[in-house]
Amino acid sequence: MATRAYWSGRIRLALVSIPVDVIPATKSSHRIAFHQVHEPSGKRIRYEKVVPGIGPVDADDIVKGYEVEKGKYVLLSDEEIDEVKLEAKKSVDLVQFVDQDDIDPIYFERPFFVLPAGDSEDADEAYAVLRDALKKTRKIGLGQIVVRGQSSIVAIKPCGRGLVMETIRYADEVKKADTAFDDIADGAPDKELLELGEELIKKKSGKFHPEKFKDAYTTALRELIDAKVEKRAPKAIEEAAPASNVINLMDALKRSVRGDSSRSGAAAKPKAKSRAASATARKKPAKKATKKAGKSKRKAA
């Protein structure tokens, strides 16, 4: 079953117009959602809309309200809100290009796949030109999109053989990092500690493979649900080994870089054995010499 388009329109770069379909790049179906259930009857709990002191109300009597003071609301009808909604635009104008690492990741919100629409060879070629030009210049195209009456900033990026569109938060939606980190102490860490930290990061560096990261909680929940349906005991889910309780930072970093603190002790034992073996080897020739001396004395007698 084909994924329904989140938005269909055109990406415009100056006089170049590219017809596209935009579909969600993420899914939430693997997440487990719970309902509240009345245990004695096994039926799902429904909620009534009530007004304190009045009781249940009809849906026709409900309007939207914005709280301006505690308990005081400005009431807005659906018609009034619809009048404010922006007219849906069928194009995203790329008005600026920035370096790929110029935007703080905290601003990125939700990714979508951008697919070429229609059967025109010119449109396919224009799509490929935009994709490859973004790759070679290592740039991101910025524009704005209107969906369901609301405007969002969007970034157009190359992604493999295609393009990705990510919605971006507005400036007033993001908290300032400098105020969030006010209580963190100033000062640089110890140089040796920093070098050990860098060495540990280099040791564990590699390419990102998302399939290696497993959602153990969801897996355990699914197994618990399946076990209840099948009326059996749930299977044990393999968990990561607990972290060791190392208090000294220098010791923790050194042991982490080594990989296993027990290896140094294990490596010392073979050396001790080799020394004992060499001592034995030195004694053996002396015994052989004594035996030869005894034989020669008996011959002489």
* Gap between the Cα atoms of 25 and 113, Å rounded: 5
Delimit the domains of the chain by residue range: 7-27+85-173
* pLDDT the model gives residue 289: 44
Contact 9, 20 (CB under 8 A): yes
% of the chain exceeding 70 in pLDDT? 82
The answer to whether residue 150 scores a pLDDT higher than 50 is yes
91-99 average pLDDT score = 94
* pLDDT the model gives residue 281: 43
* pLDDT the model gives residue 246: 58
59-66 average pLDDT score = 91
Contact 158, 111 (CB under 8 A): no
Amino acid at 247: I
Band (pLDDT 50/70/90 cuts) for residue 241 is low
Contact 161, 124 (CB under 8 A): no
* pLDDT the model gives residue 248: 83
What mean pLDDT is reported for the chain? 82
* pLDDT the model gives residue 113: 96
Band (pLDDT 50/70/90 cuts) for residue 164 is very high
* Gap between the Cα atoms of 95 and 292, Å rounded: 100
This prediction has a pTM of 0.67
* pLDDT the model gives residue 239: 65
The bridge status of strand 91-93 relative to strand 7-13 is parallel
Comparing CA positions, the residue from 99, 106, 98 lying closest to residue 176 is 106
Band (pLDDT 50/70/90 cuts) for residue 211 is confident
Q: Mean pLDDT lowest for which of 90-104, 133-147, 283-297?
A: 283-297
Band (pLDDT 50/70/90 cuts) for residue 165 is very high
Q: Mean pLDDT lowest for which of 229-233, 254-258, 296-300?
A: 296-300
* pLDDT the model gives residue 297: 44
* pLDDT the model gives residue 298: 44
SS3 annotation, the chain: CCCCCCEEEEEEECCEEEEEEEEECCCCCCCCCCCCEECCCCEECCCCCEECCCEECCHHHCCEEEEEECCEEEEECHHHHHHHCCCCCCEEECCEEEECCCCCHHHEEEEEEEEECCCCHHHHHHHHHHHHHHHHHCEEEEEEEEECCEEEEEEEEEECCEEEEEEECCHHHCCCHHHHCCCCCCCCCCHHHHHHHHHHHHHCCCCCCHHHCCCHHHHHHHHHHHHHHHCCCCCCCCCCCCCCCCCCHHHHHHHHHHCCCHHHHHHHHHHHHHHHHHHHHHHHHHHHHHHHHHHHHHHHC
212-234 average pLDDT score = 87
* Gap between the Cα atoms of 21 and 4, Å rounded: 9
The answer to whether residue 51 scores a pLDDT higher than 60 is yes
Tell me the range of 23-27, 130-134, 213-217, 245-249 where mean pLDDT is highest. Answer: 130-134
* Gap between the Cα atoms of 273 and 276, Å rounded: 5
* pLDDT the model gives residue 14: 87
Q: Mean pLDDT lowest for which of 107-111, 141-145, 245-249?
A: 245-249
**What is the architecture, at CATH level 2, of domain 7-27+85-173?**
Beta Barrel (2.40)
How far apart, in Å, are the Cα atoms of 42 and each of 224, 225, 229, 269? 18, 15, 14, 64
* pLDDT the model gives residue 4: 81
* Gap between the Cα atoms of 297 and 301, Å rounded: 6
Q: Quick one: tokens of 249?
A: 């930072």
DSSP-assigned beta bridge partners for residue 9: 20
How far apart, in Å, are the Cα atoms of 77 and each of 50, 82, 83, 107? 19, 9, 10, 32
- Phi then psi for residue 188, to 5 deg, are -85, 150
The answer to whether residue 240 scores a pLDDT higher than 70 is no
